[in-house]
Amino acid sequence: MPAVRQALFAPTERPGYSQLRLPLAEVKETILQHPEFQTFNQAAKQIFNDWQQAHLAELQQIDHSTQPKELIEQLSESLLARFKNSPLLNAYDIYQQLMDYWAASMQDDCYLISADGWQQGAKPREQIKSKNANNKLEWPKEPFDYTQGKRRFKSELIPAQLLIDRYLMEEQDNLTLAKGMLADIEQQLQELLEEHGSEDGLLAEVVEGEGDKQKVTAKAIKAQLNTLGMSADDAQERSLLKQCEKLLNLQSRAKTVVKDTTELLNEAIAERYPKLSQADIQTLVIHDKWMAALSAAEHSELDRVSQTLTSRIRELAERYATPLPQLVDEVEALAAKVDGHLKKMGAVWN
């Protein structure tokens, strides 16, 4: 990247030598914002997009006749060939990203689709409690997609979040807003307890626990209010207790809203799964799941390239920050000091 190099380095009086044009702190941003590097980024993304388009029909046609091992061999060799001549990027690093994702998730998806088909494979399956080593019933460790009462469901092929991101963002936004309101109320309550809930604080009589585990109940507040008189101190304590009581009421209402919006989202998820056509499922799996993950992996490789360039330039700049003649002078000065100390100690040189 000659243009990037020119933006970063300036020639010196000595032929073949350069010096950094700008402070080290500005190197990474200069690289990222330079048109030549942005062109490189866009070219790499286009290679990935072309590879994706070239195999889209092949992925959509996965069925019972598909051999997943042959499929990944074709996909990986094609990706490797396309990135082989890409500057700065190591094609095998991109290849490895695909193989890692295949081993972690995509392989299981392909075997599931080839065995059950797209629509059957996407159906959520009820999660059943099983007995552990101690003969106790417990839920599987994996997170659930959604719940219906005490029943819990999970789709291995299409996690509920993919469904939410594409179809149910309004319901998700409502839940996020409700959780944010609850968190804000709980933070206000916690700050109030931290400020006045110490051993000699005005809320000490109603606070239980210490630090982050401090809590207060409506019952304790009500009991304490009944003990207060009409003094100035009691009036201040009453005001704080009323404030706590108000926050507890708001917290209770916010928890109810969170519960209700969670149930609404769960219901919307449960209703959406059966309505998915095969084309919908393929879009969610191929584009929103597989290609989104692989695109993010490719992006991480591009970030790694910029970080490697920045680190190397920093290393060189720090290594050669002091000119050689200055280093020679410093070494000679230090050597003279050492010689002086040795002479004072009676050292004799032959």
Residues present in the chain in total: 350
Look at residue 325 in the predicted model and tell me its pLDDT: 63
Identify the residue whose tokens are 């933006």.
Answer: 7
CB burial of residue 207 (10 Å; 0-12, 13-18, 19+): buried
| The model's pTM | 0.77
Look at residue 1 in the predicted model and tell me its pLDDT: 61
Look at residue 341 in the predicted model and tell me its pLDDT: 67
Residues 6+ apart with CB under 8 A from 18: 9, 10, 11, 12
CB burial of residue 20 (10 Å; 0-12, 13-18, 19+): middle
User: pLDDT below 50 — which residues of the chain?
Assistant: none
Phi, psi of 93 (to 5 degrees): -70, -45
| Strand pairing class (125-127; 137-138) | unpaired
Q: Are 144 and 156 in contact (CB under 8 A)?
A: no
| Predicted confidence (pLDDT) per residue in 167-209, tens digit | 999 999 999 999 999 999 999 988 888 888 777 777 777 777 6
